[in-house]
Amino acid sequence: MKMWMRKALVTLFTIATFGLVSPPAALMADKPSEHQNIKQQTGYTAVYENREDSLSDGEQEQKLSFDSYMTGLLNDAEDQSFAKFGDKISQKIEDEYREEVLPKIEDVIVSHLMTLKDDEAYQDLEISKTPTPGKSEKIFHVYNRKTGEDVLRFHVRRDQPPQQGYWFNFHYHSAEDGFQKHHNLGSIYWDRNTPPNWMSH
């Protein structure tokens, strides 16, 4: 099943049940291969799995909770990315984005989650659901739902170097340096023609 069809069905199911019933497992399982096993992709949970035999029941439960929360955030990050791109841009850059940029975004998010794992503060983090349309840069922010404060901001900027056409520069900003530093995640070439606005369909 194509990704857009699966997402549409999940959305329709959620609307029809007012969000009170989870979508069928079959819909949720039909994710792209890149996200069928987030644990293997990130490599972070391999450390936990090697220690699994020595964990107590409580530690096992905490491990599963962390892995589940991490997977949910990474899936939200992916969904908000493609919501930002819209159909017109997604059709052209999706493969390269999944291969070159999305894994780096996931690494940044997971690394931050790891710093909060011991005191379970990771559970306060959420992905914003409001990518901005037009020409503005915001893809999504990772924020603390209790304080409302951002901890990571993921953006994409249009660049047009002389004689090189248009590029999409992906980067993030961190609360650690007051969101001042530009942390590069990579660039994807668009075309010599002006790209459509973000969220164009």
Q: Where are the domains of the chain?
A: 1-30, 33-191
- Please say if the pLDDT value at position 11 is more than 70: no
Q: Taking residues 56-78, what's their average pLDDT?
A: 82
More confident residue, 45 or 152: 152
- Phi, psi dihedral angles at 59 (to 5 degrees): -70, -35
* Maximum pairwise Cα distance, the chain: 61
Q: Taking residues 170-188, what's their average pLDDT?
A: 97
- Please say if the pLDDT value at position 61 is more than 70: no
Enumerate the β-bridge partners of residue 126.
143
Residue 33's pLDDT is what?
A: 40
Mean pLDDT score across all residues of the chain = 82
The whole-model pTM stands at 0.72
- Please say if the pLDDT value at position 5 is more than 60: no
Residue 91's pLDDT is what?
A: 97
Cβ neighbours of residue 45 closer than 8 Å, sequence gap 6 or more: 39, 67, 70
Rounded Cα distance, 201 and 198, in Å: 9
Q: Taking residues 118-146, what's their average pLDDT?
A: 95
What single letter denotes the amino acid at residue 190? W
- Nearest alpha carbon to residue 106 among 136, 127, 135: 127
Judged by average pLDDT, the poorest of 18-27, 68-77, 84-93, 97-106 is: 18-27
- Please say if the pLDDT value at position 85 is more than 90: yes
- Please say if the pLDDT value at position 54 is more than 80: no
Residue 38's pLDDT is what?
A: 41
- CB-based contact 53:36 (threshold 8 Å): no
- Please say if the pLDDT value at position 46 is more than 50: no
Strand ranges for 136-196 from DSSP E: 138-144, 150-159, 166-174, 183-191
Rounded Cα distance, 120 and 20, in Å: 26
- Please say if the pLDDT value at position 116 is more than 60: yes
More confident residue, 138 or 28: 138
